[in-house]
């Protein structure tokens, strides 16, 4: 299974998914019907995208890859905000905070999304998070939902690949003093 898309190697958005060749016109039209955002619809979309789906103890959905774990949340009192939040699989030593913040600041200035930030964990290590949030109060079609999920995961994976390139070895120790 490949890394989820959303962008080509030149970091340009990839066009919307097309209905399978020879598919019924009615099925393509059905994918454009607007309906409410629900966990079941999100789970169905993740499954159809071929993402490695899981459901945690709180009932929240997610998907796992080698470099990141992504959670999909429905936020707001009416659960109409779709949030895709990816967390890098490594933790960094607190002594790396300055350099990581510089990297994240560059990222947030250069790209519209995802919103990327650093969390200081209770044990003093750092965690890097990338998230996209999309308000869908008026509903969403299956095609749009799939696209929002692809965008959230795809953009988040770009951040994770940049982190992997910057920190190719385990980064849980402080940098060597010079």
Check residue 21 and give its pLDDT: 41
Per-residue confidence at 176, pLDDT binned at 50, 70, 90?
confident
Is residue 51 pLDDT above 80, yes or no?
yes
Q: Is the entire prediction scored with pTM above 0.85?
A: no
Per-residue confidence at 178, pLDDT binned at 50, 70, 90?
low
Q: Taking all residues of the chain, what is their mean pLDDT, rounded to a whole number? A: 84
Q: Could you tell me where the beta strands, DSSP code E, fall in the chain?
A: 53-55, 61-64, 68-75, 81-88, 115-120, 126-135
Are 106 and 118 in contact, with CB atoms under 8 Å apart?
A: no
Per-residue confidence at 177, pLDDT binned at 50, 70, 90?
low
Check residue 10 and give its pLDDT: 44
107 three-class SS:
helix
pLDDT digits (tens, 9 = 90+) for 52-110: 999 999 889 999 988 899 999 999 999 999 999 999 999 999 999 999 999 999 999 99
Are 53 and 63 in contact, with CB atoms under 8 Å apart?
A: yes
Q: 29-89+133-166 has which CATH code?
A: 3.30.310
- Domain positions in the chain: 29-89+133-166
pLDDT digits (tens, 9 = 90+) for 19-31: 344 444 456 666 7
Per-residue confidence at 12, pLDDT binned at 50, 70, 90?
very low
Per-residue confidence at 172, pLDDT binned at 50, 70, 90?
low
């Amino acid at each position: 299974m490949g890394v989820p898309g959303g962008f080509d190697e030149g970091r340009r958005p990839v066009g919307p998914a097309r209905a399978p060749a020879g598919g019924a016109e009615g099925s393509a039209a059905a994918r454009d019907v607007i309906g409410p955002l629900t966990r079941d619809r999100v789970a169905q979309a993740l499954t159809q995208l071929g993402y490695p789906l899981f459901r945690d103890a709180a009932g929240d959905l997610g998907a796992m890859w080698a470099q990141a774990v992504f959670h999909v949340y429905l936020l707001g009192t009416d659960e109409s905000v779709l949030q895709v939040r990816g967390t890098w699989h490594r933790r960094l030593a607190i002594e790396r905070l300055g350099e990581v913040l510089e990297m994240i600041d560059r990222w947030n200035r250069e790209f519209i999304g995802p919103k990327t930030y650093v969390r200081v964990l209770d044990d003093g290590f750092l965690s890097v998070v990338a998230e996209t949030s999309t308000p869908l109060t008026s509903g969403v079609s299956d095609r749009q939902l799939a696209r929002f999920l692809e965008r959230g995961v795809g953009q988040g994976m770009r951040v994770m690949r940049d982190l992997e390139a910057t920190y190719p070895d385990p980064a849980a120790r402080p940098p060597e003093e010079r």
